[in-house]
Chains A and B, each alone.
Chain A
Amino acid sequence: MIYVECILLVLLIVCAIVAPLARRGLSAVILYMTFGLILSVLWLVLESPDLAITEAALGAGVTGILFYVTLRKIKRTKDD
């Protein structure tokens, strides 16, 4: 179990570093959602399922969608 935890933590840090460095906005959003998903699995490993559910729904779901929608809006105003 400790190995799974270590792998997840390394992935978490990689996602956190790569997300702001991504060139395309969409990749940054997807990396951010991946970060949320890994974090929610980590919460589950750390035995707090309440947080895991909320993180999966908010961090990996709704916030990512909001970022995506904002990105689309910005692109639309750029095209004008």
Chain B
Amino acid sequence: MGRQSTPRKNPWALDPSASGDGRKRSAFVDWVNGDRILHLSAALHEPRERRKRPILVFNEEKMAAQLVQFFRRYHMATTLMCAVLLVIFAWVVITLPRFGDSAAPANNELPAVYLTEGPVETGADNAVTAMIFTYRGFDTLGESCVLFLALSSVMMLLRREDGSMLSAQERTALAKAAAAEPKTRNYIIVQMSRILVPFIFLYGLYVLLGGESSPGGGFSAGAILSAGIILYRHAFGSEATERFMNERVFVAVRTVGLCIYAVLFGAYILLPDDVKSHLTAHLIMPIDVAVGMVVMCTMYGIYALFIRGEI
């Protein structure tokens, strides 16, 4: 009788005192963030109608035993996987044609086909660019995705949260870091970059747009452009850089770049052959620019996140 009269305590009930900044956050969010410990004891001692077992029970001995078992299997599984991979790789290496073997197709047929058919099929004079963006376009798409994901991981790890989430210790560390940053810029670097940066950007754009007919292309152009932005930021500070490269522009450029590439190359794969042959000549340039955008943002983003923890 007494049990029924007292209402069951809801462990997920809203508790405004739990969140530090007075904002009302749900207890679940606090629990996920680790700001709140769930007091299950009250809920556990009460009879449960629907669920027989409690939600969270950490039986340490049982978990330790499970862990031991897991690690025993883990070693066995990794050893087995390594052995299988080793056999596969060894087999592949053994069956490879000898290095420089003139009878191997990689040494006689393929380069000839790429060099003779490439300019006709892709419309690009530079065989390397033609190869990277059409024949091996899927490969390059994967590389762009890897760059995108790598930058996302770096952002997750190094990005500074807004002030409310920080502890006092972290805040003092940040203030110290800000104080350590030099207020006056190095005169030589400022003067030199005033001369150099425009030429670096110009050269980057030239390499980007001339990738179809001369050495270069998206990857190198992106690296050069990002080097230019990094030099600019080092010389003139982050306030000056934010006029043309703030976080919104940054996120937009890298996402749009990858999307353009994915859509264009998806179209290239799925379209029928007779349409494709007319398209490839026009496809290289947009894909080139898209790759350049992604690479530029990745390089600059990693630098900016290392320096200050934000774009």
Contacts and interface: CB of A to CB of B under 8 A. Distances in A.
Given A53-B207, A53-B215, A53-B216, A66 B302 contact: yes
A58 B223 contact: yes
Contact of A65 (B217, B224, B230): B230
B303 A66 contact: yes
A50 B215 contact: yes
A48 B307 CA distance: 34
B128 interface: yes
Given A61-B223, A70-B306, A50 B217 contact: yes
Contacts, number: 46
B294 interface: no
Nearest to A59: B223
A65 B227 CA distance: 9
Instruction: Give the interface size bracket for A toward B.
Output: 10 to 19
Interface residues of B, number: 23
A10 interface: no
A76 interface: yes
Contacts of A48: 128
B307 A53 contact: no
Contacts of B224: 53, 57
Interface in B168-222: 173, 176-177, 180, 207, 215-217, 219-220
Interface in A56-76: 57-58, 61-62, 65-66, 69-70, 73, 76
Contacts of A62: 223, 226-227, 230, 299, 303
A49 interface: yes
A27 interface: no
14 contacts: A50-B216, A52-B215, A53-B216, A53-B224, A54-B220, A58-B223, A58-B299, A62-B223, A62-B227, A65-B230, A66-B302, A69-B306, A70-B306, A73-B306
Interface of B: 126, 128-129, 173, 176-177, 180, 207, 215-217, 219-220, 223-224, 226-227, 230, 299, 302-303, 306-307
